[in-house]
Homo-oligomer: A and B are copies of this chain.
Amino acid sequence: MSFQERFNGLELPASADFHVHLRDGTMMETVTPTIRKGGVDTVYVMPNLVPPLTTPAQSLSYKSRLEAIDPSVTYLMSLYLHPSITPEIIREAKAAGITGVKSYPAGVTTNSAAGVVSYEAFYPVFEEMERQNMILNLHGEKPSGEDITVLNAEERFLPTLKEIHKRFPKLRIILEHCTTAAALKTVMECGPTVAGTITAHHLFLTVDDWASDPFCFCKPVAKLPSDREALLKAAAANSPKIFLGTDSAPHPATAKRGGADGKGKTVAGVFTQPYATQLAVGAFEKAIEKGWLKDNEVTVDVVRGFLGENGRKFYGVPQSESRIVLRKGEEKVVEAFASKGGELEVVPFRRGEPTWSVEWK
């Protein structure tokens, strides 16, 4: 049976997306309603608003704004690692039901200006997180400069991951949006408390794609064909340490194309929220077509594991009771998602391309 024959009509638990940017205000109102279209009922929400979410109260207030838009989604919340975060705030956050803390190296991606310069200063915070069984989410890139570029920034970060893991072996750590074979190797070499997420778009892209298309440009950037193959193999390994986190990152189309006069820089981020499940399934299908994966490597268990089961286990959240059905029909990715008032539009990844579909049971 072909991949399409095996997966068309297949029933799966609702997916979980362990890395999403839902923004605030009009953008939040535009993208939050698309979570369920992507076959997802649980999201782990990034804290890099402006200003960043650095207190439990801010995070809970944000959660209530999200729930007001779609209360049928489970929002797992995070704080932004920042000098103002103390062990005491970690205890408060745990008591408030906040799941983890996201670390951004200073200046490497959208709204990361308040990010981390040195990790050692946070060791008391990590110690308390370990004690409280909270999750540390790492944007694993060294800032560019001297001999560090967007191409080796992730690989250069890996010693930091290993060092934090060594110091805090019981602390659950996730290396977010892995893009290199080297990153996956390091994640697998670490103990069971270290996991890696993979985005849907990095299963499709290489450097050639974002070179000429700002809507494929994100941080970390997609790397080489050999890295893409390593990501696909990791996603198909059904490891408890590897699962989906889309890093869906909506930006107004005008910002992606250089601002109002079209002459500025583009911003980093690929918007995949409405097609989170569909894209992941489509990436497996394409990988088999291209010969990067064998047909029998992508089992139903693999897809179920990658799309939610593995991540829910790692995060310690219940498996979903809701069910979705995969379909391969005539659907195409829409050209743009517009805000209600039309003030902004967001262009999704693979706009206009054929896509798998998701139905809710």
Contacts and interface: CB of A to CB of B under 8 A. Distances in A.
Contacts of A253: 262-263
B258 A146 contact: no
A206 B149 contact: yes
Nearest to A211: B150
Given A149-B225, A207-B150, A257-B262, A212 B268 contact: yes
A347 interface: yes
A192 B360 CA distance: 70
The quantity of this chain's copies bound in the complex is: 2
Contact of A225 (B146, B211, B267): B146
Interface stretch (A183-191, A213-221, A298-306): A213-221
Contacts of A347: 263
A147 interface: yes
B225 A147 contact: yes
B263 A262 contact: no
Given A257-B257, A257-B258, A258-B257, A263 B215 contact: yes
A264 to B, nearest CB: 8
Contacts of A208: 144, 149-150
Q: What is the interface residue range for chain A against chain B?
A: 35 or more
A74 B151 CA distance: 42
A148 to B, nearest CB: 8
Interface in A263-293: 263, 265-268
A267 B211 CA distance: 10
A351 interface: yes
A211 B215 contact: no
A59 B263 CA distance: 34
Contacts of A151: 151, 207, 224
Contacts of A335: 263
A100 to B, nearest CB: 28
B254 A147 contact: no
Contacts of A256: 262
Given A146-B225, A224-B147, A254 B263 contact: no
